[in-house]
Amino acid sequence: TRFWYGDEFGKKEYEEAENLPDKKESKEFCKKIEAKAGDVICCLPAKDLTFVENPTVVGLGDFFAGGLLAQLTVERRL
């Protein structure tokens, strides 16, 4: 929702974002991750936001996911 609306969003905008279709590439990625990790991980696909002209990006999700996947690999859980 922040990617689409920046800091100006409320419940209505959040619900609109929830109803957007999933991004095709994200669905494929989730299938691959879940096939490797089994029930160690729950992967939810990103929404298709290709229509957003002026996105707001802070990068925290990428940072978190990168650290999580690296640690699961070290622990040989993935």
Tens-place pLDDT, residues 29-63: 999 988 988 888 888 998 998 998 888 777 666 66
Residue 49: partners with Cβ closer than 8 Å, 6 or more residues away? 3, 4, 20, 23, 55
Which range of residues forms the domain containing residue 66?
A: 2-74
Q: pLDDT class for 78, splitting at 50, 70, 90?
A: low
| Domains of the chain: total | 1
- 9 three-class SS: coil
